[in-house]
C-alpha cells in the first residue's frame, strides 16, 4: 500500500465557469482548495502538494516537470457556460489531453469537465463526455475522489458526493494552496460555496445535475474565510450557489436570519477584507417572498462592498421560450425584482472616503440564446424588456448575452446547437443593438463621470492606454491614458463610457503634474483646453485653473505645489 505521506501530488487548475461557480483568474474556485484539503486530510503533507494554473504551464515550460514527476496529477477544470476572459485563458481540450500524456504517475480529472467538452471553449456548440486520456475521471465530487484514491493506494475509488462534515474540514485544510497561486495575495479573489444544486429545472442548466439545494451551515463558511484570511486573502465572493437569497432556507424561500449569521460572521473573522461580493440571486424568490427578500437584501447591502452584482437568470423575455425551457420567471416578474433590488440595495455609500462610489448592489441580467422555441420575436421581446428597465429609471450593473452550450443530462442535449447556429446573424446584430441602446446609457447612469473606482489593478497595455479592473463581481474594465506600470494598483475617476467599459484617470489628479492625455480626458476639456492648462502651469488651486479656462473642473482635481516651490 502506498504511504500518503510519501506522495508527490500536482494540482493543475484549468479554470471553471459554471452557472453558479467561477474560477478564472483573478478568481480561484473551490475545486483546488477543497481537493488540496482532501489530500491533506488523507495524509498527504502540504509541502508535497504543488499547484499550478494552466497559464503558468503555458508561460513556464519547466513547470511541466511537476506534471511528469508527480505520483498523482489531478486536473481540475471545465466550462459549462461560455464567456470571455481577461485574467486567464481556460484550458482547451487538447491541452488537457497533453497533461494526461505527460503525466508519468496516476492521473485524475475532475470538476465540471465531467459534464462534457466541446471542440473549444465557446457558446453555440454541442458537447460530449470524454476521458481525454486520463486514467481516472471523477464522476462525483473530485475532492472526494482524491481523498478515496489516496486512501486506496492510488488503485481506484467509488464515485460519490462529499458530505458537509468533509467539506468543512477540507475547506479549512486546503486554504494553504492559495499561497501558490500566481496572483496571491493582492490580486486574488476566492469563490465561496454556500450551496450546490437548484430547486428549478431549466432546460439548459447543469446546476440541477447537482440535485436539490444543499446548504453549508454559516459556521462552515465562516471557518473557511477565517483560514483564507490567515493566508492573506482579502477578497471574497459568495458565488457558488444558484440563489443566495434562498441560503439556509428550504431551497426556495429566503432566510434572513441565516444571511445575517453568514455575513456577520464573515465580517467578524475578516474585518480587514477589501471585497465581499455575491453572484446569483433568483428573481422569482424576490417576487414570491417580497418582504423576506427585502430584509435579506438590506442585510447584504449592509455588509457587502460597493459595486456588487446580483445576477438574474431571466434568460428570455419570450413567453414561448420560457414555457418550452421550464424557465421560472416571466419578464414582468423579473422587472419587479429589478425594482425591489434598486429600492433596497441600489444606494451609494456615504461618509468619509465613500464619495461618488458605485451602488452597493444592483441586478445583472442574463440572456441566453439558442434555446428551444427561440424565434425572431424573441430578440425583440428581450430588447423591449431592457428598454422598459432603462425607461423606468432603474439601474442594471450589466447585461450578459450568451449562446447556449448543450450538455448530456439536460433537456437541451436533444436540441443541441442547431437553433443557435440558425440565428447567428440575427444574434450578432441584436447584441450590437443592446450594447448601443442599453449598455452605454445604463453605464452612464450606474457610473457617471466622477465616480470613484478605488484599487484598480493595472493589467495590460493596448493602443497607448493601460487597462485595469477592480476585484469583484463583473468588475468594470477601465481604460487609462498612457502606459502605466503593470501590476500597480491605483484609484481611478470615471471620465467617459463605452459599451461595457469606462475611461478614467488617476484620482486625485494633480493638474500641475498630469499628462496632456489625462487632462484632455477630463469631461468638458478636450485637447485645446488641456493644452492651455499645460502652458499656464503651475496653479495654486483647481479653482484658479477653472477660472482661467472658464470650465468647472471635477472634484477629484487637485493642484499641488511643484517640487522646490516656496
Question: Quick check: is 23 in a domain?
Answer: yes
Question: Could you tell me if residue 236 is inside a domain?
Answer: yes
pLDDT band at 20 (very low <50, low <70, confident <90, very high): confident
Helix axes 424-434, 376-391, angle to 10 degrees: 10
> Is residue 166 over pLDDT 70?
yes
The reply to whether 563 falls in a domain is no
Same domain, 168 and 293: no
The conformation of residue 6, written as its DSSP 8-state character, comes to: G
Q: Which whole number is the average pLDDT over 26-50?
A: 98
pLDDT above 70 as % of the chain = 89
Domain boundary among 431, 446, 461: 446
78, part of any domain: yes
**Is the predicted pLDDT of residue 462 greater than 60, yes or no?**
yes
Shared domain for 138 and 242, answered yes or no, is no
For residues 380 and 549, the model is more confident at 380
CB 436 within 8 A of CB 402: no
Q: Residue 527 falls within a domain, yes or no?
A: yes
Give the number of C-alpha atoms closer than 13 A to the C-alpha of residue 142, restricted to the C-beta side. 27
The grid coordinates of residue 430 equal: 441584436
Output the CA–CA distances (angstroms, integers) from residue 443 to 49, 121, 391, 469, 503, in the order listed: 44, 28, 14, 15, 11
pLDDT computed for residue 84 by the predictor: 77
For 291, the enclosing helix (H) or strand (E) is helix 290-303
CA pair distance 80, 410, nearest whole angstrom: 12
φ, ψ for residue 198, nearest 5 deg:
-150, 145
Helix (H, G, I), strand (E, B) or coil at 190: strand
* pLDDT surpassing 60 at residue 361: yes
Same domain? 476 vs 348: no
| Mean of pLDDT values over 74-99 | 88
> Is 49 in the same domain as 91?
yes
Range of the domain at 250: 188-446
pTM over cut 0.85? yes
Residues 37 and 152 in one domain: yes
Q: Which of 421, 446, 471 is the last residue of a domain?
A: 446
Tell me the CATH number at 523: 2.40.50.140
Q: 86: closest CA among 479, 425, 484, 396?
A: 479
Point out the domain boundary residue: 132, 166, 184. Answer: 184
Residues 334 and 437 occupy one common structural domain: yes
Give the count of domains, the chain: 3
Cite the beta strand spans of 31-85 per DSSP E: 49-53, 72-79
- Which one has a higher pLDDT value, 325 or 56? 56
Q: What average pLDDT does range 31-57 have in this prediction?
A: 98
Least confident piece of the model among 151-155, 214-218, 247-251, 341-345: 247-251
Question: Would 564 be classed as within a structural domain?
Answer: no
Based on the fold, state whether residues 131 and 6 are members of the same structural domain. Answer: yes
* Helix (H) / strand (E) containing 22: strand 21-22
For the residues 66-72, what does the mean pLDDT come to? 98
Q: Answer yes or no: do 372 and 486 share one domain.
A: no
Question: Parallel, antiparallel, or unpaired for β 465-469 and 477-481?
Answer: antiparallel
Question: Residues 35, 167: one domain?
Answer: yes
**CB-side exposure of 101: number of CA atoms within 13 Å?**
7
Instruction: Looking at the structure, tell me whether residues 34 and 157 fall in a common domain.
Output: yes
Residue 454 and residue 478 in contact, taking contact as beta carbons nearer than 8 Å? no
Residue 565 domain-assigned?
no
- CATH at 163: 3.40.50
200 and 245 fall within a common domain: yes
What value does the mean pLDDT take over residues 320-326? 90
pLDDT digits (tens, 9 = 90+) for 175-211: 999 999 999 999 999 999 998 766 655 565 555 566 6
The angle at the Cα of 505, spanning 499 to 507, to the nearest 5 degrees, equals 125
Which CATH number fits the domain that encloses residue 392? Answer: 3.80.30.20
pLDDT, average across residues 291-302 = 98
Better pLDDT: 181 or 21: 181
Question: By the 8 A CB rule, do 395 and 439 touch?
Answer: no
Strands (E), 241-350: 275-278, 308-315
Round to whole Å and give the CA distance between 452 and 491: 7
**What does the block give as the cell for 58?**
503555458
Report whether 258 contacts 218 (CB < 8 A). Answer: yes
Each residue of 224-241: pLDDT tens digit?
A: 999 999 999 999 999 888
**In the predicted model, is pLDDT for residue 411 greater than 70?**
no
pLDDT on residue 402: 87
What pLDDT does 242 receive? 80
pLDDT of residue 127: 40
Residues paired with residue 13 on neighbouring β-strands, in sequence order: 53, 76
Q: Are residues 197 and 167 part of one domain?
A: no
Q: Is residue 62 part of a domain?
A: yes
CA distance 379 to 367: 10
What average pLDDT does this structure show over 247-254?
Answer: 86
Lowest mean pLDDT among 125-134, 171-180, 323-332, 510-519: 125-134
Average pLDDT along the chain: 90
Residue 117 reports pLDDT greater than 50: no
Amino acid at each position: 500500500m502506498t504511504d500518503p505521506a510519501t506522495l508527490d501530488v500536482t494540482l493543475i487548475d484549468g479554470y471553471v465557469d459554471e452557472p453558479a461557480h467561477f474560477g478564472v483568474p483573478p478568481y480561484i474556485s473551490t475545486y483546488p482548495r477543497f481537493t488540496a484539503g482532501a489530500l491533506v486530510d488523507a495524509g498527504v503533507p502540504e509541502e508535497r502538494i504543488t499547484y499550478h494554473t494552466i497559464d503558468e504551464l503555458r508561460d513556464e515550460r519547466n513547470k511541466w516537470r511537476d506534471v511528469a514527476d508527480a505520483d498523482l496529477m489531478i486536473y481540475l477544470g471545465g466550462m459549462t457556460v461560455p464567456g470571455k476572459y481577461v485574467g486567464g485563458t481556460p484550458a482547451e481540450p487538447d491541452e488537457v489531453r497533453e497533461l494526461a500524456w505527460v503525466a508519468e504517475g496516476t492521473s485524475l480529472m475532475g470538476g465540471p469537465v465531467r459534464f462534457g467538452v466541446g471542440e473549444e471553449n465557446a457558446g453555440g456548440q454541442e458537447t460530449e463526455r470524454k476521458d481525454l486520456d486520463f486514467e481516472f475521471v471523477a464522476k462525483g465530487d473530485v475532492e472526494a475522489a482524491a481523498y478515496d484514491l489516496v486512501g486506496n493506494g492510488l488503485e481506484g475509488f467509488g464515485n460519490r458526493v462529499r458530505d458537509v462534515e468533509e467539506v468543512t474540514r477540507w475547506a479549512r485544510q486546503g486554504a494553504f494552496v492559495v499561497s501558490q497561486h500566481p496572483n496571491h495575495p493582492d490580486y486574488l479573489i476566492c469563490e465561496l460555496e454556500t450551496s450546490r444544486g437548484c430547486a428549478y429545472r431549466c432546460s439548459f442548466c447543469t446546476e440541477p445535475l447537482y440535485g436539490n439545494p444543499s446548504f453549508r451551515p454559516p459556521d462552515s463558511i465562516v471557518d473557511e474565510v477565517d483560514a483564507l484570511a490567515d493566508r492573506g486573502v482579502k477578497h471574497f465572493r459568495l458565488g457558488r450557489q444558484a440563489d443566495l437569497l434562498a441560503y439556509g432556507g428550504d431551497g426556495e424561500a429566503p432566510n434572513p436570519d441565516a444571511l445575517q449569521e453568514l455575513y456577520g460572521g464573515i465580517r467578524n473573522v475578516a474585518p480587514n477584507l477589501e471585497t465581499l461580493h455575491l453572484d446569483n440571486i433568483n428573481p422569482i424568490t424576490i417576487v414570491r417572498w417580497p418582504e423576506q427578500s427585502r430584509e435579506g437584501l438590506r442585510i447584504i447591502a449592509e455588509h457587502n462592498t460597493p459595486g456588487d452584482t446580483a445576477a438574474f437568470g431571466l434568460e428570455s423575455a419570450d413567453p414561448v421560450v420560457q414555457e418550452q425551457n421550464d424557465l421560472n420567471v416571466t419578464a414582468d416578474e423579473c422587472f419587479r425584482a429589478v425594482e425591489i433590488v434598486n429600492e433596497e440595495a441600489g444606494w451609494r455609500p456615504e461618509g468619509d472616503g465613500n464619495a461618488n462610489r458605485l451602488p452597493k448592489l444592483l441586478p445583472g441580467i442574463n440572456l441566453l440564446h439558442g434555446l428551444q422555441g427561440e424565434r425572431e420575436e424573441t430578440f425583440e421581446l428581450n430588447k423591449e424588456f431592457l428598454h422598459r428597465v432603462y425607461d423606468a429609471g432603474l439601474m442594471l450593473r450589466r447585461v450578459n448575452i450568451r449562446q447556449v452550450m448543450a450538455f448530456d443530462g439536460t433537456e437541451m442535449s436533444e436540441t443541441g446547437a442547431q437553433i443557435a447556429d440558425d440565428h447567428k446573424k440575427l444574434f450578432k446584430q441584436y447584441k450590437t443593438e443592446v450594447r448601443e441602446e442599453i449598455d452605454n446609457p445604463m453605464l452612464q447612469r450606474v457610473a457617471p463621470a466622477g465616480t470613484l473606482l478605488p484599487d484598480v489593478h493595472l493589467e495590460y497595455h493596448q493602443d497607448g492606454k493601460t487597462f485595469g479592473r477592480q476585484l469583484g463581481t463583473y468588475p468594470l474594465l477601465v481604460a487609462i491614458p498612457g502606459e502605466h506600470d503593470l501590476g500597480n494598483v491605483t484609484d481611478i475617476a470615471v471620465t467617459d463610457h463605452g459599451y461595457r467599459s469606462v475611461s478614467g484617470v488617476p484620482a486625485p489628479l494633480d493638474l500641475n503634474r498630469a499628462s496632456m492625455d489625462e487632462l484632455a480626458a477630463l469631461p468638458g476639456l478636450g485637447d485645446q483646453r488641456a493644452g492651455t492648462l499645460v502652458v499656464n502651469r503651475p496653479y495654486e488651486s483647481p479653482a484658479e485653473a477653472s477660472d482661467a479656462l472658464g470650465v468647472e473642473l471635477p472634484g477629484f482635481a487637485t493642484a499641488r505645489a511643484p517640487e522646490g516651490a516656496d
